[in-house]
A = this chain, B = another copy of it.
Amino acid sequence: MDLSSFLTSVLTSFVIFVVLVLVFTWLSRRPGNAPVYYPNVLLRGLDPWEGRRRGTRSPVGWIQDAIAASEDDVIAAGGIDAAVYLVFLSSVLSILVYSGIVLLPVLLPVAGTDHGLEASIGIDSPNKSAQSSQDFSAMDRLTMGNVGEKSERLWAFLLSVYWVSFVTYFVLWKSYKHVSNLRATARSTPDVKPEEFAVLVRDVPKPSADETIKDSVDSYFRALHPSTYYRSLVVTDHTKADKIYQKIEGHKQKIARAEAVYANSKTESNPEGTKPTHKTGFLGIIGKKVDTIEYCSEQIKELLPKLEAEQKTTLRDKQQRSAIVFFNSRSAAASASQTLHAQVFDKWTVMEAPEPCQIIWPNLPRSIYERQIRQAVVYTIVFLVVFFYMIPITAISAVTTLENLRQKLPFLKVVVDQKIIKTILEAYLPQIALIVFLALLPTLLMFLSKAEGIPSQSHAVRAASGKYFYFIVFNVFLVYTLGQTLFKSLTTIINHPAEIVNMLGNSLPGAATFFLTFVALKFFVGYGLELSRLVPLIIFHLKRKYLCKTEDEVRAAWAPGDLGYNTRVPNDMLIVTLVLCYSVIAPLIIPFGVAYFALGWLIAKNQVLRVYVPNYESNGRMWPHMHTRVIVALLVYQITMFGYIPLKKFYYSPILLPLIAMTILFAYICHLRFYPAFAKTPLEVAQHELKETPNMEAIYTAYIPQCLKPDKLEDLDVFEDCQSHSTSRAPSI
């Protein structure tokens, strides 16, 4: 890619970005759009424009707001997880800024004033050497590719790798410390959180014939924690009860909607209004026509006793071999969750309880062996997906350079020059396949992660994010570079097989320009769309106009969702990997990386403060994953450099080996020092005083699934009795 086309591409992206920002500025000022641009603020019951007059007036007001907001504001709006995500973005930003400060002024002149590219062409084909200088764009001149073989200048590049690595260690260490404190602070707040009083118990052994699972859990934990045990909640298979419950809820919604429609229909001309009706058959198209309100009310009346009966059956007969056990203090629960209970490990496994809202109920009763097997199967599938997905990607990488292909293999001209075939080949088929597959991938990975038997939503998100990271780094980064190289050098390889190593080396700086454009495109267009929220805006307005009848429906139409860490984090990680890997080979990528993460931080902060609403709170458990993956990126970078520098016939690259060892050591020390406090709750933290005496009843109720909750809270004891043998069924024996 030459300079002009590169500039065109970057400029186009930039123009799109500016337009989108302007659109955002204009649209976000209109009060009607508040639910799209300020849903988080609205949900917290605040006025989006209060105290923000300045912000809405100037087009850069949102920037000022975002910068002015403190970390506490962020935590208040989006929780610790969002704050940790911002710490991640700012950490990467610092790494790149510190690296750039040294690398740009040092490496650009060193590379730009050498003549390696001309020399290499000169050697390959001496007769071309005179005209060769114009073959290389200014871009390529500024890369390491322009440094001659065996040149002393390579020392500068070698030492730069050290600088970048040390900067990374320094920033990561500081950030880990910061996040660790954030987590500790969050976990020691005086607020009562149900999950801090509970422990999740899995692999409950089969009870003896005359007791229920509930009985055995109760007696076991009462014996082991006589003074701190409060009560237990056995997990039940409530799919059937839930189905009935959902039906009732559906009917309730229909009634609300019908009533709204009915009220609207009372116009002046028709003061009575028309009662809404619908057909009872398939999709409301066939079947008997009924009055919606009456019909639904009847249905609910019919279903309610059914639900009650099913609730009883579920609680009594559908107990699963898993339970949530409550303790009367935080430190008792923290200590219990970390203590081995049974002599044999496949019984009475205990772990920290997830938040009630993020429990994946069907996964709880899976036995330890089932979990292991599922994990092995899922990992195998993911491995296959990651590795064999390179086949279509390589094909795409080949087709995008169709012009190259045509040049190198002239016999293809007959096919390729036919216009229809060319168009289809070049533009449609593979891209569509790629886009469809890539769009489905996060869902697939999320599904696979849940299939592993993970008990909580946030854990599944972390697992899916990890899978996506390895997928994206392997496929985009490695395969693209390799694919490019293989095609570029197809003819060379055929003639001189020994040239392949050189070719690989030469293609690394070449791919740099591609990735530069990629980063630019990604952040200008991606962030523009993210900030302007055009798609949610359109959907919201369409829904509100044509579909929503009740207040609840409108609220559902603008429900903002959370940040979607499972795709967001791996995408950022890809950029980290790219920028780090090319930081020394083509230092020009650093400013782009800085722009990406600076803008990313700004926009993410804006979105966290105003738009997204977290689904769960994991108190920053995402951080160790982010940390590990930055280190993986650093390792990929160091290994790339270790392999690349010798291609310049510069034999000091083993100097990089201690650096690789150091990175592994750094990762190990961080893991040793900080990780346990993320995996477990330290007693120190759990010990902090509470604001009020915890209402244990409320903590317990928080974990009862919606469909099993009795109507009145006084009925809780009945609920309890239903689960255990001793009181409800003992007399019948």
Residues of chain A having any CB pair with chain B under 8 Å: 180-181, 184, 223-224, 227, 331, 334-336, 338-346, 348, 368-369, 372, 669, 672-677, 680-685, 687
In the complex, what residues of B have CB within 8 A of residue A341's CB? 682-684
Q: Are A224 and B340 in contact (CB under 8 A)?
A: no
What is the bound-complex CA distance between A331 and B682, given in angstroms? Answer: 18
How far does the Cβ of A218 sit from chain B's closest Cβ, in whole Å?
15
Question: Chain B: which residue is nearest A671 at the CB level?
Answer: B345
In the complex, what residues of B have CB within 8 A of residue A677's CB? 340, 342-345
Q: Are B338 and A340 in contact (CB under 8 A)?
A: yes
Q: Residue among A340, A672, A685 with the most chain B CB within 10 A?
A: A340
How far does the Cβ of A591 sit from chain B's closest Cβ, in whole Å?
36
**Which of B336, B348, B682 meets A340, CB within 8 Å?**
B682
Q: List 19 A-B contacts (CB under 8 A).
A: A180-B344, A181-B343, A223-B687, A224-B683, A224-B684, A227-B227, A335-B336, A338-B339, A339-B683, A340-B677, A340-B680, A340-B681, A340-B682, A341-B683, A341-B684, A342-B682, A343-B682, A343-B685, A345-B676
**Which of B180, B340, B346, B683 meets A683, CB within 8 Å?**
B340
In the complex, what residues of B have CB within 8 A of residue A683's CB? 224, 339-341
**Which of B180, B223, B331, B369 meets A343, CB within 8 Å?**
B180
The 8 closest A-B pairs by CB, nearest first: A340-B680, A335-B339, A340-B682, A184-B343, A338-B339, A345-B676, A224-B683, A343-B677
In the complex, what residues of B have CB within 8 A of residue A680's CB? 339-340
How far does the Cβ of A267 sit from chain B's closest Cβ, in whole Å?
65
Question: Chain B: which residue is nearest A183 at the CB level?
Answer: B343
Q: Are A345 and B684 in contact (CB under 8 A)?
A: no
Q: Are A340 and B676 in contact (CB under 8 A)?
A: yes
Q: Residue among A336, A369, A673 with the most chain B CB within 10 A?
A: A673
Q: Are B685 and A224 in contact (CB under 8 A)?
A: no
Q: Are B224 and A343 in contact (CB under 8 A)?
A: no
**Which of B184, B338, B342, B672 meets A338, CB within 8 Å?**
B338
In the complex, what residues of B have CB within 8 A of residue A346's CB? 672-673
In the complex, what residues of B have CB within 8 A of residue A372's CB? 669, 672
How far does the Cβ of A373 sit from chain B's closest Cβ, in whole Å?
10
Question: Chain B: which residue is nearest A188 at the CB level?
Answer: B343
In the complex, what residues of B have CB within 8 A of residue A223's CB? 687
Q: Are B685 and A331 in contact (CB under 8 A)?
A: no
In the complex, what residues of B have CB within 8 A of residue A687's CB? 223-224
Q: Residue among A344, A368, A685, A687 with the most chain B CB within 10 A?
A: A344
In the complex, what residues of B have CB within 8 A of residue A672's CB? 345-346, 368, 372
Given contacts A340-B676, A343-B677, A345-B672, 4 further A-B contacts (CB under 8 A): A341-B682, A343-B684, A345-B677, A348-B684
In the complex, what residues of B have CB within 8 A of residue A685's CB? 343
Question: Chain B: which residue is nearest A336 at the CB level?
Answer: B335
In the complex, what residues of B have CB within 8 A of residue A180's CB? 343-344
